[in-house]
């Protein structure tokens, strides 16, 4: 042992470690031989981990961790929290970021009406910029690469006749950056998404009444402009009725075939089944008293249409009109309530029943889920709708209007509905598509919505919910830290992203946030000068994160470990100077 490092009792060492900064804890071993003697002591590092990160002691160690020392170092050294570059090529608010699956490229959308393609090398550089104003776009808002990174879907707001706003989707070839096709998309915040390599999903909206409408989801071939006239390039997927001014928005597709090989199991009971050494921790309660109470199942409620007591819809409508005309309807219904009641009675006998079982039973199933925000009480999105897409529906071949429908199957029903009880402002899938993360701003508890055009006030605090799409259950207590301030009518989407071990989100409080998926703790706040609209992890390197803001910049964040590696790769100025001097002497 080094004579300059006197022997201290382990208890004293431990108390010192508890108050050391991260960097001190990890660097003290360089100057003290005594530290090396205890650096791998599992008990000390376990205690330090739980106290420093304020994690409940019932939470087991990450299933992929080898030791508590390595786990402490992972949460310090691999979080992308060091700003290494600021990209300022946009001249207006940057709204969205998306990586290619290879991680070599990423795209950014902005209020300046451009979509920019960036090359992700040692230093990120701009590769291409497409201006969408010549196509009467107001701005670009969302982008997504297809599965083989050969095509880019770009969604934007289209200015139509009489300055009316709608949405449009453009498909850009990554080979030569040419525009291949354009598809109308209504409302614009459907955004759109890829179903497979060559087919994308868009939306349309048809008004039926003042607060009643019908959303139609379409499957489109990306090569519409160059396909033969004898080949279908579009097909209707689903037709869904909307009540109380709600609409379908924010569509995305989850691949069910990947559920049985998740990157990370979030349910501790499943972890226990996989490894009997892990203790179980239930995140569903906030106190010991609450744990003692019987808990309702976490399964999200499936919303069912009223059965009208077995009465056919036509008879129900007639009965309703008779009651109104003869004064038997007490209290008197408003025009809005009457429209909703008639729509509910009509849709009851005109809707195709849901699929018998939503949960996938075959791990090799090619079934996919269409996931979107919707509602039933007000125009603000407060529910998540899930609709199964079967293999035969994944092509534009066949009739344009899809399968023939009987008169009693005019609308499609949702296979599952998750009620969030708040305004949904963001959604994202884990890389394995097993878990759905949802940003929402909660409504007051026990609030009653009497007017669909006046939703309840929403909280400033954002809740980040986690749902298991294999079991359709909520599996984690909502993550918190980030905030938003805009009211219902001005509320906008804040895009989040999920990597193997982390989840990140923007916020209106001028910060991006990173949480650990396993421990449910906030690890980093990333500073901007304005609202952070979008975040994106590199799909091949979770220690690289991008953030986009209303301050017109895209910031590049890397982990402390990645920064050290990058610096080691760069030539050191002193060595270059010494080499130059030696050459001058010779």
**Three-state secondary structure along 224-267?**
CCCCCCCCCCEEEEEEEEECCCCCCEEEEEEEHHHCCCCCCCCC
CB 64 within 8 A of CB 275: no
Of 496, 505, 499, give the one whose Cα is nearest residue 524. Answer: 505
- Split at pLDDT 50, 70, 90, the class of 134 is very high
| pTM over cut 0.75 | yes
Closest CA to 482 of 457, 499, 501, 503: 503
Task: Tell me which of 1.10.540.10, 1.10.3720.10, 3.40.718.10, 2.130.10.10 is the CATH number of domain 82-259+365-398+409-567.
Answer: 2.130.10.10
pLDDT at residue number 318: 55
Q: What is the pLDDT of residue 324?
A: 55
Q: What is the mean pLDDT of the chain?
A: 81
How many angstroms separate the CA atoms of 29 and 20, rounded?
Answer: 13
CA distance 34 to 31: 9
pLDDT at residue 461 is higher than 90: yes
Is the per-residue pLDDT at 287 higher than 50? no
**What is the length of the chain?**
586
- Band the pLDDT of 171: cuts 50, 70, 90: very high
Q: What are the structure tokens assigned to 264, written together?
A: 């990370």
283: pLDDT strictly greater than 50: no
Quick one: pLDDT at residue 35? 54
- pLDDT for residue 303: 43
Query: Band of the pLDDT at 290, cuts 50, 70, 90?
Result: very low
CATH architecture of the domain formed by 10-78: Up-down Bundle (1.20)
What pLDDT score was predicted for residue 511? 96
| Mean pLDDT along residues 528-546 | 97
**For 188-232, what is each residue's pLDDT tens digit?**
999 999 999 999 999 999 998 889 999 999 999 998 765 555 567
Whose CA is closest to 129, among 142, 147, 103, 110? 110
Q: What is the rounded average pLDDT of the residues 354-366?
A: 61
**Cβ(109)–Cβ(547) under 8 Å?**
no
Separation of alpha carbons 110 and 141, rounded Å = 6
Radius of gyration of the chain (CA): 27
**Of 258 and 237, more confident:** 237
* H or E segment and range at residue 561: helix 560-569
- pLDDT-wise least confident of 106-120, 398-412, 514-528: 398-412
Cα separations in angstroms, 297 against 190, 284, 411, 473, 474:
31, 10, 30, 8, 10
Higher-pLDDT residue of 78, 583 = 78
Among 126-130, 375-379, 564-568, 569-573, the least confident range:
569-573
pLDDT over threshold 70, residue 579: no
CA atoms of 413 and 410, how far apart (whole Å): 10
Q: How confident is the model at residue 570 (pLDDT cuts 50, 70, 90)?
A: low
pLDDT of residue 442 exceeding 50:
yes
Is the pLDDT at 412 greater than 70, yes or no? yes
> What pLDDT score does 202 carry?
97
Q: Are 227 and 395 in contact (CB under 8 A)?
A: no
Segment 135-161 shows an average pLDDT of: 94
Q: What's the CA gap between 310 and 307, in Å, rounded?
A: 6
- Tell me the pLDDT band of 532, cut-offs 50, 70 and 90: very high
Parallel, antiparallel, or unpaired: how do β-strands 105-110 and 94-99 relate? Answer: antiparallel
For residue 195, is the peptide bond before it cis, meaning its omega torsion is within 30 degrees of 0? no
Domain boundaries, the chain: 10-78, 82-259+365-398+409-567
Predicted pLDDT of residue 297: 37
């Amino acid at each position: 042992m080094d004579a300059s490092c006197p022997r201290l009792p382990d208890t004293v060492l431990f108390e010192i470690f508890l108050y050391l900064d991260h960097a001190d804890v990890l660097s003290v071993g360089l100057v003290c031989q005594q530290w090396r003697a205890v650096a791998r002591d599992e008990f000390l590092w376990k205690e330090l981990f739980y106290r420093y990160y304020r994690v409940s002691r019932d939470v087991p160690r990450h299933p992929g961790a080898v030791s508590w020392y390595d786990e402490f170092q992972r949460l310090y050294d691999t979080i992308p929290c060091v700003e290494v570059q600021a990209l300022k090529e946009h001249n207006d608010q940057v709204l969205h970021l998306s990586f290619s699956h290879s991680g070599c490229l990423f795209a950014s959308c902005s209020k300046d009406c451009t979509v920019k393609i960036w090359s992700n090398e040692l230093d990120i550089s701009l590769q291409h910029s497409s201006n969408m104003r010549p196509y009467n776009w107001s701005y670009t808002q969302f982008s997504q690469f297809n599965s083989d990174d050969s095509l880019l879907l770009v969604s934007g707001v289209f200015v139509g006749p009489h300055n009316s706003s709608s949405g449009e989707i453009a498909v850009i070839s990554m080979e030569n950056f040419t525009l291949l096709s354009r598809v109308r998309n209504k409302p614009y915040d459907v955004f759109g998404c890829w179903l497979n390599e060559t087919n994308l999903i868009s939306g349309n909206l048809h008004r039926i009444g003042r607060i009643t409408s019908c959303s139609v989801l379409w499957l489109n071939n990306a090569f519409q402009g160059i396909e033969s006239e004898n080949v279908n390039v579009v097909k209707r997927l689903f037709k869904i009725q909307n009540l109380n001014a709600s609409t379908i928005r924010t569509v995305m597709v989850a691949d069910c075939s990947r559920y049985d090989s998740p990157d990370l199991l979030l349910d501790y009971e499943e972890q226990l089944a996989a490894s009997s050494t892990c203790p179980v921790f239930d995140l569903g309660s906030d106190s010991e008293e609450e744990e003692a109470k019987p808990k309702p199942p976490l399964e999200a409620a499936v919303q069912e249409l009223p059965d009208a007591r077995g009465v056919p819809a036509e008879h129900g409508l007639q009965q309703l009109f008779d009651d109104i005309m003869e004064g038997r309807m007490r209290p008197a219904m408003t025009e809005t309530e009457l429209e909703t009641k008639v729509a509910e009675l009509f849709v009851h006998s005109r809707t195709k029943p849901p699929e018998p079982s939503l949960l996938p039973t075959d791990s090799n199933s090619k079934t996919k889920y269409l996931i979107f925000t919707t509602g039933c009480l007000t125009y603000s999105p407060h529910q998540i709708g899930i609709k199964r897409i079967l293999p035969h529906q994944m092509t534009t071949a066949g009739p344009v209007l899809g399968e023939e429908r009987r008169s009693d199957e005019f609308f499609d029903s949702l296979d599952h509905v998750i009620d969030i009880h708040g305004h949904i402002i963001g959604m994202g899938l884990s890389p394995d598509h097993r878990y759905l993360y949802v940003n929402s701003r909660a409504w007051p508890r026990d609030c009653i919505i009497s007017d669909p055009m006046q939703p309840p006030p929403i909280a400033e605090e954002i809740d980040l919910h986690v749902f298991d799409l294999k079991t359709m259950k909520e599996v984690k207590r909502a993550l918190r830290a980030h905030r938003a301030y805009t009211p219902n009518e001005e509320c906008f989407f804040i895009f989040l992203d999920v990597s193997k071990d982390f989840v990140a989100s923007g916020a209106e409080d001028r910060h991006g946030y990173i949480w650990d998926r396993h421990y449910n703790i906030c690890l980093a706040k990333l500073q901007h000068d304005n609202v952070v609209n979008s975040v994106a992890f590199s799909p091949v390197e979770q220690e690289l994160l991008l953030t986009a803001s209303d301050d017109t910049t895209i910031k590049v964040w890397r982990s402390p470990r990645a920064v050290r590696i990058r610096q080691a790769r760069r030539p050191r100025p002193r060595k270059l100077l010494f080499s130059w001097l030696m050459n001058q002497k010779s």
